[in-house]
Structures are given as C-alpha cells and as structure tokens.
Amino acid sequence: MNTRRQTVAYVQALVAACAAAVVVYAAGAAGADTPGNLLQNASLEQGSGNTPSCWLLGGYGTNSYQWTRTSDAHSGSYAEVLSVPSLTSGDRKLLTAFGGTCSPTVTPGHTYTVTVWYKSSARPAIFAFSRTSSSGFRWWAQSPRLATSLAWTEASWTTPVVPAGVTNLSVGLGLQVAGSVVMDDFSFIDATGSGGGTDTTAPTSTISCNGATCSTGYYNSSVNVSLSATDNSGGSGVSAIQYTTDGTTPSLTNGYTYGSPFVVGADMTIKYRAYDKSGNAGAVNTQAIRFDTTTPTVSLTTPATGATLTGLVTLSAIAGDNTGVDHVDFLVDGTKVGSAVSAPYAVTWDSAAVASGSHTVAARAVDGAGNTATSKGVAVTTANTTAPSPSGGYFSTLPSLAPGLPRGDATCASQVTTSTWEPRPDNQTANHTVPSNQSALSWSNAEVGLYWSKWMAKRNQVTGNETGTTNQIIQWASCKWGLDENLLRAVAVQESDWHMSMVGDNCGTVGEASYGMFQIKNAYCNGNMAWGGYSASAKDSALNADFYAAYIRSCLDGDFYDGSSWLYKGQTIGQIIAANGLDYAVWGCVGSWFSGHWYDSGAQNYIASVKGHLANKDWLKY
C-alpha cells in the first residue's frame, strides 16, 4: 500500500480534527464504558455535521462516497454511516483524529485490541496508523476484511507489536470495496498491559486438495482446495489466512481472505500464509496445481491376433504420454491380470487361469493424472486343461464326527495338486507367509463359553502351515478338515473373489473389519472382539483358509450346541442330519458363517449365492 498517498489524502481532514482535539469528551455509551478504553468520544455521541468530534473522515483513491451521522445507533443516540457507491481504487475510513489526544499514546512492545460494533453490506476492515516524532502519522497495519452483517456485530482485532519509536496510534473502520457500513461504539485497549501478554510467534498454515495432501504431479479434473491454520499454544489465535493465485505474495492488503474451500480448474500457483490476532504473519507457502487431460497412447505388441496360448505366456505393450506413463495394465476379457510400471511394459501370465477357448487381450495405459487409454483388443485362443484333481483324489465332505480329523498338515501338503495354476498372483506374498509363533496368534475368546470347549480344541489346531498357490492352499484346508474342496472354492468366490487383500465390514478403525479370502471378522464396530486373528489372518492365506475350514467342521460336528435356538434351533447336529441329511447340515453351517444363525433369511440368501458360484465353477473364470 502507498502510505505516502494515504497520508497526503488525510491532510485536510487532519487540520479540522486538530482544532477539535483539545475538547475533553464525556464517556457516553458502550464503547467508552469498556474498561481500559483509551479512545475519546468512542461512541460517536459528540460531533458537528457529519463528523464525530475527535474523529476524521479519511480516504484516498478514485471512488465516490458519502458520510452521514445517523440515529440508527448500536447504543446512545448516534452512529456513523459510510456509503461508497463506486470504488475503482483506494478506500474510505473513519479514523481517530491525528492531532491532540484523540489518537492514544501507545507503548512500544505492546499490542492493542480494537473493537467496534458495525453492520455492513460489504466487508469492512479495521485500520491502524502509527505516529513517530520524525514522520507523523503513516499507515501501519489493518485487520483482515470482516464479514458482512445485516445486524449489529462486534468485531475485534489485535494489532501487531508496536515497534520502537512509535508514540501514538490512530484507529478506525472503513471500506476498500463498494458498499455501506454503519459503525458505533469503538474501544482501544492495551492488550499487553491488561494481562494479555505479548504474542510474537507466527501461526502456520497448510493446504489440502480434494481432502488429501496436494499432489506434486498432475490432476485430470478440477481440484477442491482447502486452507487451514493453527497458532501457537497460548497465542492470540488465527485471525485470517490470505492467499493469491497470480504468483504475488499474499498480505493483508493483497490477495484474498480465505473463507471456505474453492475450486481450481486450471494450472495455478497458490501462495498462502496465516496471520494471528497479534498481527504476526506466518511464512508464505507455495503450492503448484497442474493439470493434464491428455490421454496416453498404448498398443499391444504380444500376443498376436489369432495366437493360441498355452501355459505361461508374455503379454507386452508400448505406451507413451505427454507427462509420462505411470503404469500399463494388461486385460484379459476386460479383467486386469497384471501391471507393469516401467518400459518395456510386459508381464507373464498363466493362460490356464481362464477356461480353454476364445478370449480377448488388451493393454490399458494410465498416466500420473489418472488419464487412461485402452488398446484395441486382440482375439486369442487358450488351450489348457482345467485345474487338475489332487494326487490323492478329490477331497469331499466327510460325515459329522468323522474320525481322524484334522488330518496332519504334512499329509495334506503331500496330496494337493502339483499344478501351478494361479488365478490370483496378487496373493503371492500371503500364500507364502506362515505364522512364526502359532501360540501367539490373537484369536479371541470373547464369545467362547464352556459349552464351546470342543471348538476351542479344534481352533487350537489351526496352524496355517502351508504354502503354494491359492488353489493348493484351499485344497489343503479341505483335506485337513474333511470338507468338499469345491465348496470352499465357491465360498472364497463369494467372500473375496479369492483375494487375500479383501477387507470387508470396515468400521474405519484398524482391526475392526473382516479380512482375507474367507473374511475372518476380527472385531465389531463397537470395538468388541469377534473371531480375532488380526493381523495374521489378513496376511496368511493358509491360516485364513485353515480357520474357516475348522469353523465349518466344528459346526458340522455340533461343537456349538448349547440347547438354545440361535444356531441349531434347539436340536443336536445328529437330530438335524437324521431328519434332513448331511448336505442340509453342511449348508446350514455355511450360512451361519454369514448370519450367525441357522437358516434365517440372511443365511438363506448367502447359501443361494454360494450355491450359484459352486454350480458355475466361477473360480475357473478368473
């Protein structure tokens, strides 16, 4: 701001104010009644014409304006109205007069709090001019622009620390935009002398984009920008955040005062800083927001159109982008089967993961902004057998209370298929992780009563001691607990599509969710423990499958029977099987994993869905 222009603009008003400054005014009304108020005629009660005594009507620049004394006061009989119909530059403001005792004497090193009651159609600001013995009054500081208000509102602003050499301050209220403001009941109090202390620590400010940390890369659509600030503990508090979008430095007189999130839709550099109520200015922060809406280019190079694929094959592509390719996904029939993050873009894919026959392969390039492009699909034929049976034959469900269960870990490991068919390569790490200390697993006893001692005995034999493909691990659990292997495959489709990374029933708190291939619930949303096992159950495929199979076997053996109707409807498992057959009991146990009850509506819907996956062998479609 040009302080020389402002000072010159006030010369004429200063002369008139000096003549009036020798008068001592009565306290009068709310402003003067404020304890410690250093202002004279604080409630604007005395005056002649449109000028309150001990005040001056100031301003500069190109604008039209009108001053009026009004009886529409906050307290007492009079207030002052400033109307600015048009404003090209500069401002208009009411200030304490520059002469005599109208502008209070101040102490260097102190801060002062200015309050004023106002109502306004525009956003006014509180101004402060400082006086030194050598230079007279000059513009010194101002508050952030205040909010508009149709009703009387009290505003408060604490000045910066008064620098050495300053003897007096002139304060007041005015407009830097077109509009009108009614003002009354000012006060000016020594914040330091009244016990407020001196705050010399600047606040800090931060920025977020779309509710997260702003990217250093590119966006492909408009960004919702939020600013926030904090002041030091015991400080005066944040008064405003100022920001610019044109590369200039934000200040109390330059840029915008942040009020709410705003949208950025084009390349822009945002500079922002916070101010506290003591006038301390925070560091200027800079955030560049860049946009890229250009899609990448991509072309599949292998396999060739019409190729016949058997076993492991290479999928490759070439891709480019104006700002850089982030990664290339490879798609078979529209489903991603692998990704490459750097050139040459290629992955190895097991063609046995899909049924033999006709399929379409394509590549999809993704750039750093999230723009995508997909290549033309290439028609190929796969020629592989379906997942083979284990060397020991197909594992079927054994009767309730069948002897010899669970089978040994090593025994079942030796009988699973030797096929390397793996429809879920993302399970690789989990498929080769086993518990380092089985006794340290965090299973919950929260829902276990004395009548569940048989379940406890089975659960204590859950080891997760197997590695291999996802299919081999499911077979291993089926073998160990005497359950139909395709039944477990179908349940895994329903629960997770065979992904160990699946998290369901998420309450938003770490550990309060269901995890892994068979969705073992660790805790409910109220924090109470469920089956438990986290975090091992979320990162060990065999442990996840082992626990689920143990649960179904315990249910099928009647281990959860306590005479009530919650699970078996008051019947023993023997009575249920005698009346309805083993298959009915198996499906009742499968449904109970979902609903916790025996053939209720939730369980029946779940059973129907799993039966659909079983009939269609949906796992062979991955």
Contacts of 425 (CB under 8 A, 6+ apart): 337, 338
CA–CA gap between residue 97 and residue 100 (Å, rounded): 8
Are 380 and 306 within 8 A, CB to CB?
A: yes
| Per-residue pLDDT, 11 | 37
Q: Residue 550 to residues 254, 454, 460, 611: CA-CA distances in angstroms?
A: 69, 11, 10, 20
* CATH 2.60.120.260 for domain 3-196: yes
Q: One-letter amino acid identity for 535?
A: S
Are 300 and 362 within 8 A, CB to CB?
A: yes
b/e 337-357 (16+ beta carbons within 10 angstroms → b): bbebeeeebbbebbbbbbebe
- 365's enclosing H/E stretch is strand 357-367
User: What residue ranges of the chain have pLDDT lower than 50?
Assistant: 1-30, 32, 194-196, 386-391, 448-450
| Per-residue pLDDT, 436 | 84
| Per-residue pLDDT, 582 | 92
- Chain CA centroid to CA 364, Å: 28
Q: Residue 290 to residues 186, 218, 326, 373: CA-CA distances in angstroms?
A: 46, 5, 16, 20
The pair of three-digit structure tokens given for residue 46, joined into one six-digit string: 């005395």
CA–CA gap between residue 321 and residue 116 (Å, rounded): 58
CA–CA gap between residue 283 and residue 147 (Å, rounded): 25
- 542's enclosing H/E stretch is helix 541-556
Place of tokens 């997942």: 387
Place of tokens 């997260």: 212
Are 341 and 326 within 8 A, CB to CB?
A: yes
The pair of three-digit structure tokens given for residue 248, joined into one six-digit string: 């200039």
| Residue range 260-315, pLDDT digits in tens | 999 999 999 999 999 887 778 899 999 999 999 999 999 999 999 999 888 788 99
| Per-residue pLDDT, 33 | 55
Contacts of 608 (CB under 8 A, 6+ apart): none
Partnered with residue 118 across adjacent β-strands are 153, 183
Q: Residue 241 to residues 111, 267, 283, 289, 341: CA-CA distances in angstroms?
A: 20, 22, 11, 19, 40
- Chain CA centroid to CA 196, Å: 37
For 409-621, CATH number out of 3.30.450, 1.10.3470, 1.10.530, 1.10.10 equals: 1.10.530
Partnered with residue 80 across adjacent β-strands are 69, 183
CA–CA gap between residue 616 and residue 598 (Å, rounded): 25
Evaluate the CA torsion angle 496, 500, 502, 505 in order and state its sign.
positive
CA–CA gap between residue 45 and residue 82 (Å, rounded): 16
Q: Residue 587 to residues 301, 452, 561: CA-CA distances in angstroms?
A: 48, 21, 17
Place of tokens 């429809």: 423
Domain boundaries, the chain: 3-196, 204-291, 297-382, 409-621
| Per-residue pLDDT, 9 | 40
Evaluate the CA torsion angle 260, 261, 264, 268 in order and state its sign.
positive
Are 481 and 491 within 8 A, CB to CB?
A: no
* CATH 3.40.1130 for domain 204-291: no
Quick check: do 204-291 and 409-621 share a fold? no
DSSP letter (8 states) at residue 501: T
| Per-residue pLDDT, 527 | 86
The pair of three-digit structure tokens given for residue 511, joined into one six-digit string: 């550990």
Rounded to 10 degrees, the C-alpha dihedral 250/251/252/253 comes to -80
- Chain CA centroid to CA 272, Å: 21
CA–CA gap between residue 473 and residue 386 (Å, rounded): 17
φ, ψ of residue 612 in degrees (nearest 5): -65, -45
| Per-residue pLDDT, 1 | 38
CA–CA gap between residue 210 and residue 247 (Å, rounded): 22
What is the CATH superfamily name and number for domain 297-382? Answer: Immunoglobulins (2.60.40.10)
